[in-house]
Amino acid sequence: MPKARRTSRPKRFALYWCTTADGEEDWFVVADSARSARRFHEGVEDYETGEAHAERVIGLPAELQTPEGWRDGPEGKVYPHSSWPSDELLVACGGEIAPLPRTELHAMMDVVCKDVRFGERVFRAGDIVTVRGRAQGFKEARLSVFKGGATEKKPRKK
């Protein structure tokens, strides 16, 4: 008796937060699994296999899922595989972006200088400039301000 063919389901993409022990290149990846997100991050940022950790933050909204993959924001390019998200995609997923101060060295090294908030959780982009500076004893605060203010909390029951 011939085996029944499985019909492949379309991939469901989500936003993952990818980190490494050094914290130098932490950032979001859109992928169809945590494993795919880790592998993409390790490959692009030149880490060894197993060095990255990926945590699912949120599934992409239905309007950003396509039969061919995922759309990078409401009017963005369609990708069939893992990649970095645009700011438009982060906002479309419910994120709020707050810029961080950008020095000349940050600009030269193309370091992402922003925080992204989803609900009450804030994610800070990896920053090789600040990490290496702190290792050499430099301690400069890098603060961001979200325009939307604090997220609304439910009142406590007494």
What integer pLDDT is reported at residue 153 of this predicted model?
47
What is the residue extent of each domain of the chain? 14-135
pLDDT string in tens for the chain (158-residue length): 666 665 566 689 999 999 999 888 899 999 999 999 999 999 999 999 999 999 999 999 999 999 999 999 999 999 999 999 999 999 999 999 998 888 887 787 777 888 899 999 999 888 776 766 666 776 766 666 778 755 554 444 55
User: What are the φ/ψ torsions at residue 19 (nearest 5 degrees)?
Assistant: -135, 160
What integer pLDDT is reported at residue 154 of this predicted model?
46
Contact between residue 25 and residue 42 where contact means Cβ atoms under 8 Å apart: no
Q: What is the pTM of this model?
A: 0.81
According to DSSP, residue 51 is labeled -
DSSP conformation letters of 74-134: TT--EESS-BPPPHHHHHHTT-EEEE----HHHHHTT---EEEEETTEEEE---HHHHHHH
What integer pLDDT is reported at residue 30 of this predicted model?
98
Contact between residue 115 and residue 98 where contact means Cβ atoms under 8 Å apart: yes
147 three-class SS? coil
What integer pLDDT is reported at residue 150 of this predicted model?
52
pLDDT in tens, 120-141: 999 988 877 676 666 677 676 6
Q: Using CA atoms in the order 109, 112, 113, 114, what is the torsion angle rounded to 10 degrees? A: 180
